[in-house]
Structure 1
Amino acid sequence: MTTVLNWLANFHGTFWGFHRNTGIQKYLVPPPLEYQGGQVSGIWSQGTYWYLDTRREEHQSVDEDEYGWLLKWTDKVDRSMKEETNKWGTLLHGDVKGANIVFSADSGGSRRCALYDFQYAGLGLVTRDLVYFIGTTAQSASIRRIEQEKEILRAYHSELLRTIASRQNHDQTTGNSTVGSRSDSEGYTFPTLWRHWEIAIVDWYRFMAGWGFWGNDSWVERRAKEIVLGWDEHTLTI
């Protein structure tokens, strides 16, 4: 798991804030249900395949009696993720599962990995990739306790910030700025990542409630229920 999370941290950090580059914005393709044609290249304006704008029909079929505790948060979570993406977004792989990962080891036993199948690559919060990977592929024993989740995410967060700083230094040295401004990257604290993580867990469970359950679904359900209990429904504060 660490190998994959390091790959993701380097990928996310490399493209941190890329959407703020005006030269890139014209290549952001709207969701499939909104796409009017005419654009022959680019990446999705929202990464992954399970965000709400692509799953409205499935969402409407979710049993309100069983999932009322979840459904009342759906639109708020979706808006929150979009708003947070404007500031903290990066390029997502979009389909981080075991079937899309290959591993290798050198003579010293050091493991490396590479991901393929980028058909759902697009803009979003890093936690969309993280929740999808951990929720579908990680061993359940590694996420039984909140402390385990935080340990995993702290390691990822450190590597993410290291990658962003390295890219900043490279751009300053070469005078080349291939992505958007990273001046606010230092503000991406662990509490901010953790908040995004909890929002993404609830959003991922929303998708599974309409599509079907697999992977570490019992963990996702338990955590989603715990998370929304801590949210203020009256002020809609997440």
Structure 2
Amino acid sequence: MDSMLKPFLPNIQKELSVSHILSIAKMQSLWSDYGGIFRLNLKGAKVPSVVVKCILLEEKDKHPQGWVSNLSHERKVKSYQVENHWYEMYAASLPTTVKVPQLLYREKQTSVQILVLEDLSHFYPNLKQSCTYKEAKTVIRWLAQFHAHFINSPTDGLWPIGSYWHLNTRPDEWKAMEDSPLKEKAQALDFVLNEAKFQTIIHGDAKVANFCFSNNEEVAAVDFQYVGKGVGVKDLAYFLGSCFSDEESQLYEGSLLEYYFETLKASAKDLNEAEKAALEKEWRELYPVAWADFNRFLLGWLPNHQKLHNHALSKNGEAFQFLERQNL
């Protein structure tokens, strides 16, 4: 058992009315060794198991890609604070069709904090690094309903700009980029995304690996460290880039965009038809901008990344054309 989790076990037992913790298994380490995620199998509780996210808030001296700075540490610590607030104040408002784990208990001791979460593996046992067209539609349905639920909602306590790659939080990666039109237009891309009329709450790290799949075409999402304000197509572009190859992206993009906007409009119950049409028009135009904005991050962070394929890079030109129409 990990030593940083041990001090929390008595309180977990007490709060969840657990007679005995049968076993503890480490599922994975957190990014840059900021802690770990554990599964606790329980006896005498209302649930057979829980997942515990155990977070070490001390500054780290290593990073998987070599990026180490005070800014990166501050961003990471803030992300865990935001995630905690998300589960406490926002997650319970979602409809049952937009599944996320329930927060069961939280605690902080000095430089370590824990989130005790519902174990989704009983109903959503399948994790993936890539997905089929059909599976992608399941995730896109989740994203569209999630975005529709929070259209123009307050985002108090969340990131003022959702996602981990937006320009203000990635100055080092921008500086590392080679001179290019994308580097030159980075601020304009960031501006039009942040100043869009229709904003929502976005997941902020909606890669396929952060979705858990059931055996009957349902899905749940995890990892809300970068949840915050944004246009929904930031999540959409990022998700599509996470699960499809160059060729698949070209093949599937059109129909999946149609499905996203159909579901988004059908789920946006508080908007009238004119507002739904305006929302679709704005976000369709911003879709290539959102993808180009993520390309900007990757080209500074890891310029040989496999996600920088031809289809992804073609979005840069589409985004520049949009900026020209806006005289930017």
> 1:229, 1:43 → 2: CA distance?
30
8 Å Cα contact 1:136-1:215 kept in structure 2: no
Q: Which amino acid aligns with 2:268?
A: I
Q: Secondary structure of the residue that 2:327 maps to in structure 1?
A: coil
Counterparts of 1:31-42 in structure 2 under 5 Å? 42=157
Q: Which residue of 2 aligns with 1:82?
A: 194
Q: Which residue of 2 aligns with 1:207?
A: 297
> 1:51, 1:220 → 2: CA distance?
21
> 1:215, 1:4 → 2: CA distance?
22
Are 1:58 and 2:147 matched, yes or no?
no
8 Å Cα contact 1:100-1:115 kept in structure 2: yes
RMSD, matched Cα = 2.2
- CA 92–143 in structure 1, closer or farther in 2 if over 3 Å, else same: same
Q: Which residue of 2 aligns with 1:118?
A: 224
> 2:220, 2:245 → 1: CA distance?
19
8 Å Cα contact 2:246-2:311 kept in structure 1: no
Q: Secondary structure of the residue that 1:114 maps to in structure 2?
A: strand
Q: Which residue of 1 aligns with 2:236?
A: 130
**What are the superposed Cα offsets for residues 149-181 of structure 1, whole Å, 9 maximum, x if unpaired?**
22211110010011112xx3xxxxxxxxxxxxx
Q: Note the C-alpha offset of 1:189.
A: 4.8
Q: Which sections of structure 1, spanning at least 5 residues, go unmatched?
A: 28-41, 169-181
8 Å Cα contact 1:91-1:122 kept in structure 2: yes
8 Å Cα contact 1:94-1:122 kept in structure 2: yes
Counterparts of 1:156-167 in structure 2 under 5 Å? 156-165=260-269
* TM-score w.r.t. length of structure 1: 0.72
8 Å Cα contact 1:164-1:185 kept in structure 2: no
Q: Which amino acid aligns with 1:94?
A: G
Q: Which residue of 2 aligns with 1:196?
A: 286
Q: Which has the higher helix share?
A: 1
- CA 101–134 in structure 1, closer or farther in 2 if over 3 Å, else same: same
**What are the superposed Cα offsets for residues 182-238 of structure 1, whole Å, 9 maximum, x if unpaired?**
4673243543222110111110110111111534321354313431563565x7636
> 1:156, 1:9 → 2: CA distance?
6
> 1:214, 1:112 → 2: CA distance?
30
Q: Which residue of 2 aligns with 1:49?
A: 164
Q: Secondary structure of the residue that 1:43 maps to in structure 2?
A: coil
- CA 229–59 in structure 1, closer or farther in 2 if over 3 Å, else same: closer
8 Å Cα contact 2:289-2:316 kept in structure 1: no
> 1:48, 1:10 → 2: CA distance?
18
> 2:305, 2:217 → 1: CA distance?
27
8 Å Cα contact 1:135-1:215 kept in structure 2: no
Q: Note the C-alpha offset of 1:131.
A: 1.1
Q: Which residue of 2 aligns with 1:31?
A: none
